[in-house]
A and B are shown apart, each in its own frame.
Chain A
Amino acid sequence: MPLLEIRNLVVRYGEIEALRGVTCAVEQGQVVTLLGANGAGKSTTLRAISGLAKPTSGDILFDGQSIAGLGPEAIVRMGISHVPEGRRVFPGLTVKENIMLGASNRRAPTSEISREADAMFDLFPDIRKFSNALGWTLSGGQLQMVAVARGLMAKPRLLLLDEPSLGLAPVIVQAVFKIISEIRRNTTVLLVEQNARMGLSVADYGYVLETGRIVLGGKPDELWGNEAIRAAYLGGHAKASA
């Protein structure tokens, strides 16, 4: 049984049908990448999983249990942590405080959460020295590190990462993806990326979304190896980001 299974998911924002029947699955221990152009429905898929967007129809199963329609607070307590687009680091709180709040989905004494947050800096050494800096003072790459560290503090069984490379310099993108390849040792990851080359480089499986539908699914080398697919869905983005 897959850890996450999405069946025929439809999400509407008013008149607009953002997802028009998405079906896909994430197996335990895998990194799965959702690729697609702007507006294809990648972020909406993640928002539906984490409870920010209410499904109109279809189902989302986590560990065999339906979570469609639950609120975000309930879903993160079940072990799905969503690092949303734009990082959303709290600007008026320090880096350490931001990371500590990532553990809000579980009950633990503050001292223990503080220790865990300190330990998180081993995985993200670049932001250790900004521990007491307020969120708004950080650069994009640092914010991304904080956002991922905060997401991991939930001790998720499934981590949803939305566009971690967006707006970052290539060398920072490399650093972020190096971290993703370390995270995958313990955590299942569903990754959304516009940067197809980077997105597939860490993935076990990839899906391509187009205007609210999954049009392709396959192993990274299958997707990447197929000339027609690359030209139609992947090539343009790879070129743009190279």
Chain B
Amino acid sequence: MDLALQLLFTGIGIGAVYALVALGFVLIFRATNVVNFAQGEFSMVAAYLMVVAVEAGLPYWAAFIVALLGMALLGVVFNLGVYYPLRHRTYLPVIIATIGASILLANSVLAIYGPQPQVLQGWFDTPGIQLGPVYLDSQYLLIIGVTICLVIFNFWFFEKTLLGKKLQATSQDKEMASLLGISVSTMIMITFIYSAVLGGLAGILVAPVLFVSIQMGSTIALKAFAATIIGGFGDVAGAIIGGLALGVIETFGAAYISVPYKDGFAFLVLVAFLVFRPQGIFGERVAEKA
């Protein structure tokens, strides 16, 4: 039982990272009808930006802000360079462009920083606290705390603000949105910035837990992508629930069944969903919105 609680905590911690990246996937998908295959690279680039900023001698909080500003800028460049020129084409050229951007980002970082994985220290000096039978690692606590705040912010932003409603309107019917005077290109720009920052946050938060490496982006992105399918593709709540569920499942699978097959469990669950419930947990609601 104690072990189960401990695993649940760790699983939710890692699942929160998947949830943030999955949220980025879903928001861009809803705004542009395209899966952004460079979403994982956003996490990787942000982790490297963080490493660079810390090595340059910036205090942690300043490095954090610099890295997130860098991600916002990357969101702008990505939108203008990858999506905007192809926005009137079908989804296929755009998807290929995001794959190209993903390769470009990974290899740019490789060229600059080399293949050696980097280590980023955790945020806190105290490694964690013991709460009854469960040891709460401080970095996982931070990840969970930030994710909770972001989920609340996300809900408030999309459900309670007029700008959020304009973003939703744009993702539902671009032509109608433009007829009402909503600037569609601005709404899509905001979506890319927000998604890049979300992916970046995930990368920065998870960096002290994993190594900072070129491959970290694709690993996280694959899990997050699986999470969006499990949750119900295109659904915001589904992405978050799916991410958390995936984190918990793979942590339990690693502990009770097999450590080397840890990554396998996530995809086993994905396959099971594709076979038995391809619309995902929240599938029906997506159909209603379409």
Chain A positions within 8 Å of B, measured between CB atoms, are 50, 52, 71-73, 76-77, 81-82, 84, 88, 90-93, 97, 100-102, 104-106, 110, 113, 134, 136, 150, 154
Complex formed: what's the CA distance from A23 to B105 in Å? Answer: 54
Given A102-B180, A154-B180, A92–B175 Cβ distance below 8 Å? Answer: no
Interface: B111 (CB within 8 A): no
| Of A52, A72, A101, A106, the contact of B166 (CB 8 Å cutoff) | A101
CB pair B172 A90 closer than 8 Å: yes
Complex formed: what's the CA distance from A121 to B183 in Å? Answer: 27
Which residues of B lie under 8 Å from residue A73 when comparing CB positions? 178, 181-184
Q: Can you list 16 A-B contacts (CB < 8 A)?
A: A50-B179, A52-B179, A71-B178, A72-B178, A76-B179, A76-B180, A90-B173, A93-B165, A93-B168, A100-B162, A101-B162, A101-B180, A104-B166, A105-B180, A110-B161, A110-B162
In the assembled complex, how far is the CB of residue A83 from the closest CB belonging to chain B, in whole angstroms? 9
In the assembled complex, how far is the CB of residue B287 from the closest CB belonging to chain A, in whole angstroms? 10
Interface: B288 (CB within 8 A): yes
Which residues of B lie under 8 Å from residue A106 when comparing CB positions? 181
| Of A52, A71, A91, A150, the contact of B180 (CB 8 Å cutoff) | A150
B135-186 residues at the A interface, CB under 8 angstroms: 161-162, 165-166, 168-169, 172-173, 175-184
Complex formed: what's the CA distance from A136 to B290 in Å? Answer: 9
Cβ contacts B65-85/A at 8 Å (1 or 0 each): 000000000000000000000
Which residues of A lie under 8 Å from residue B161 when comparing CB positions? 110
Cβ contacts B13-48/A at 8 Å (1 or 0 each): 000000000000000000000000000000000000
Complex formed: what's the CA distance from A100 to B182 in Å? Answer: 12
In the assembled complex, how far is the CB of residue A64 from the closest CB belonging to chain B, in whole angstroms? 22
Q: Sorted from nearest, which 3 A-B pairs have the closest CB atoms?
A: A105-B181, A88-B176, A92-B289
Complex formed: what's the CA distance from A50 to B179 in Å? Answer: 7
CB pair B181 A90 closer than 8 Å: no
Complex formed: what's the CA distance from A97 to B172 in Å? Answer: 13
In the assembled complex, how far is the CB of residue A53 from the closest CB belonging to chain B, in whole angstroms? 11
Complex formed: what's the CA distance from A104 to B180 in Å? Answer: 6
Query: 14 new A-B pairs (CB below 8 Å) besides A84-B175, A110-B161?
Result: A50-B179, A52-B175, A72-B181, A73-B178, A76-B180, A90-B169, A90-B172, A91-B290, A93-B165, A101-B162, A101-B182, A106-B181, A134-B288, A150-B180
